[in-house]
Structure 1
C-alpha cells in the first residue's frame, strides 16, 4: 500500500503559545481518516500547517515522497465554511472551475475538457441545476457541496476537509460522505476534521485523536476507545455503549 503523506515533528506556535506539539504520523492510500478533538485542540491548525498555510517547525512534511509545494496539484483543500466570503459575486460553476486553475497556465483559458470535468463534478454532488446561481444564494449544505465539487474538479489524490459536515442538512451530509467513500475506493486518501463523535465509527477507517498533540492514531476499532477519548477531551465527555456503538454526551 502506497504512502500518501508523511508528517514528522510538526509544531505550531502563536507568539509564545504552542498550538501543535511535535506531531508525527503517516497516511497510506485508500484511507478515510477522521481528525477529532475538542474545540481549540488545533485540528484545523494541524491541516493548515501541513499544507503550508500556517507557519510551523518540522523536520519534514511530504506527500507522494515530494514536498507539499511540489505535490500541490495532487492535493485538494476544502476550508471551513465560516472562512469563506459568501457575498463575493461568483457563480457556482465558476467556483467549481477554480479547481481546474491549478492545472492551467496563467495565459490559457479553460478548455472543453475542463468544462466537462466541472459539469461532471456538479453532477456528482447533485448541484447541476444551480450552476448559474450566485454562491451566496445557496443553503449551507449546498454551498458545501459546491466546494466538494471544486475539489473533485481538481482531480486530486489527497484531500483535506475542515469540518465539511458542520451546519449542513442531512441530504448534503449523505451525499458528501458517499462521495468521500467513493474516493477512498479509488485509492485516494481523505483527511477530515470532524466534530460529531457519534459518526466516527460509521464514517472513517482510521481516526486521529488530537488535543495540541497526537493522543492516538490508527484503525477506528483500535483507537476510538473510551480511555483515549477521555484523555483527548480531558474527561469533559461521557461515553457509553449502545448495541456496540460508541455514544457520546457532552463535549
Structure 2
C-alpha cells in the first residue's frame, strides 16, 4: 500500500514545540532515521515510516499527516511540492467542443492541475526533478492526455487565474483599451455587452470593484484566439445574473469547437455550463486525486452523495440532501419577532426603497438580487451602521452582524482572537460552531496569514459566537467551497433554531439560498441607480420573482432534490416559463 507523509508548512511551528513528531516516533527510538531535523524543521522518511500515526496525534499543531493511499494510486503521482509536500494524483481531460468542470474542496489541487495543463507548472511525476516533455508523453502513454502533452508547446492556451485581486497593480489603462490590446477574435464589443462591461469601458482598471474586475478578466481570456481555455473560479465576486452571463460566454467557446476546463464551486453554474465533471477528492493541503470524467448530472450527484462507486472512495460520512419543498404557501404562526417599517436610503447617485416587513423566531430569510442593488445597504441599516433617510428603526433586539468583506486587524493567533471576541466561549461553541466550520484547524495560526476562506469562516464563527436575537450575515459563502457552504448553512440553521433567534442572509449561490432560507427578500431595480426590496416572500413566490429577472428556470433532481438549471430553450425551460413556474414545476 503506497504511503505518503505530508508536513503542513503553514501549521508547523518548531519554535513552539519540542519536536514531538521525532521524540515519540518508534522508528527513531530503535535507532532509525525515520524523522530527522533539517533546517530546524522535521523531515519524515516515507520509506522508513510504518504508518503508526503516533506523530500525527502527538503534533500539537496538527501539522503532520500520514496517508495510506489505495493501491491504484501507486506510481500515479503527477506532482509533488517537494519532500513531505502536497501530492496530486491524476489530471482532468480537456476535450474539444466540451466544457469539463472540476468539483472539489479548497486546497485539494484543482488550481495545481490547471497550472500543469497550461504549462505554468512543470510536474515532477512524484520525483525531485521536473519531468521533461518526453517523460510526460511516456507517463500518459495510452491515455487521452498523451496527445495533449505531446503538443503542449504548440497549443495556444488562454487562462483565467483564480486570484484576480493583484491584477490592478500590474495592469494600467482603461478597460476598453486593455480588451482591445488582447483581442485576437474581434469580439470586444460583443463580450462587453454580454458581460455588462459597456458602462465601465472608459474606467481605469485600478478603479474596478471585485465583480467588475472578474468580468473583465473573463472577457480578456475569452477574446484571445486559443485552442484551450481554462477558467479558475469564474463566478467569484459575481451575482447570479453575472454568473449566468459568464457561463453563457464560456459555453459559447465550447460551441465553437474549443476545449474548455473550469474549476468552480457554484453547483448551479457548473450544472448550467458543463458537459462533464471531474470530482477531485483527498485531504486539503495534503493530497488530491482527480477522478475520471462523469456526465455533469452524475458527477455532481455522486459528489453530494459522498461516494464514488467506481473508485470505491467515500468523500464524507453523510450524503448531502436538499429539501424538496412543496409549491404551496407556507404559513407563519404567532407574532413576528422583529418588524421594520418602510425604509428609504438615498446616496448621491443611488436610492434604495424597502417595503415594510417582518421576521419570525427561528426563521432564516435569504436576501437575493444583483450586485449594487442595495442588499448590503439594507443589512447595514438593520445593523445600525447606517441611518435610513426615511423611516425609523426600533432596535430593541440584540443584533450580530457579519459584514460583506470581513477585515480582521489583530496581531496574534486565531485562538486568542476568538477568546477575546466571543463572550460565551465554551465546549458547545467549539463543537457546534468552530469544528464544523473548520476554524479549529487554524486555531494556532496567526490571524494575519489566513486565506480568504479561512478569514470568512472565522468572521462567521465570531458572529455566531455573539448572544443575539437577530443575526445578519452578508455573503457568508464567498471564498468557500461547496462543502464549506453547506456546513455553514447547517451550523446557522441549528444555531437559529436552538437559540430561538432569526437571521437575514445575503446570498448569491442559489443552491445555498435554497438549502438555507425559509423565505426570500428579493431586490430588484437598476444596479448602481435604484433598488427596490420585495418581501419577505415565500420561497416559491420569491424564487419565481427573482429567476424571472435572471431568465432561467430550475427543476429538482430526482436523486438528491438539488435545484438544477434547465438548459436555455429546452422543452422544460419553455414549459416552465409559459406556466410562470421558474423554480417549482407542478
Equivalent in 36, 50, 53 of residue 120 of structure 2: 53
Counterpart for residue 12 of structure 1: 79
The answer (yes or no) to whether the contact 2:247–2:272 under 8 Å persists in 1 is no
Equivalent in 126, 138, 151 of residue 67 of structure 1: 151
**After TM superposition, what 4+ stretches of structure 1 lie above 6 angstroms from structure 2?**
62-65
1:29 aligns with 2:96: yes
Offset at 1:174? Answer: 1.8
Within a 5 Å distance, the mapping from 1:173-184 to structure 2 comes to 173-184=243-254
Counterpart for residue 557 of structure 2: 244
**Per the alignment, in what secondary structure is the counterpart of residue 21 of structure 1?**
strand
Change in 2 beyond 3 A, CA 1:25/1:196:
closer
Find the aligned partners of 2:92 and 2:167 in 1 and give their Cα distance: 33
Counterpart for residue 163 of structure 2: 81
Equivalent in 200, 216, 223 of residue 146 of structure 1: 216
Counterpart for residue 13 of structure 2: none
Long gaps (5+) in structure 1: 1-8, 104-113
Offset at 1:163? Answer: 0.4
Find the aligned partners of 1:233 and 1:135 in 2 and give their Cα distance: 45
Find the aligned partners of 2:290 and 2:196 in 1 and give their Cα distance: 36
The answer (yes or no) to whether the contact 1:216–1:228 under 8 Å persists in 2 is no
Offset at 1:122? Answer: 2.6
**Per the alignment, in what secondary structure is the counterpart of residue 225 of structure 2?**
coil
Find the aligned partners of 1:227 and 1:169 in 2 and give their Cα distance: 24
**Per the alignment, in what secondary structure is the counterpart of residue 27 of structure 1?**
coil
**Per the alignment, in what secondary structure is the counterpart of residue 291 of structure 2?**
strand
Long gaps (5+) in structure 2: 1-75, 126-135, 138-144, 282-287, 308-312, 325-555, 563-586
TM-score, normalised by the number of residues in structure 2: 0.35
**Per the alignment, in what secondary structure is the counterpart of residue 105 of structure 2?**
coil
Counterpart for residue 122 of structure 1: 192
Find the aligned partners of 1:233 and 1:45 in 2 and give their Cα distance: 23
Find the aligned partners of 1:82 and 1:247 in 2 and give their Cα distance: 34
Find the aligned partners of 2:269 and 2:263 in 1 and give their Cα distance: 12
Equivalent in 69, 72, 92 of residue 175 of structure 2: 92
Change in 2 beyond 3 A, CA 1:125/1:25:
closer
Change in 2 beyond 3 A, CA 1:11/1:94:
farther
Offset at 1:38? Answer: 0.7
- For the aligned residue pairs, the C-alpha RMSD in angstroms reads 3.0
**Per the alignment, in what secondary structure is the counterpart of residue 193 of structure 2?**
helix
- Name which one, 1 or 2, has greater alpha-carbon Rg: 2
TM-score, normalised by the number of residues in structure 1: 0.75
**Per the alignment, in what secondary structure is the counterpart of residue 168 of structure 2?**
coil
Find the aligned partners of 1:204 and 1:237 in 2 and give their Cα distance: 26
1:155 aligns with 2:219: no
Structure with greater strand percent? 1
Counterpart for residue 235 of structure 1: 316
Find the aligned partners of 2:270 and 2:206 in 1 and give their Cα distance: 30
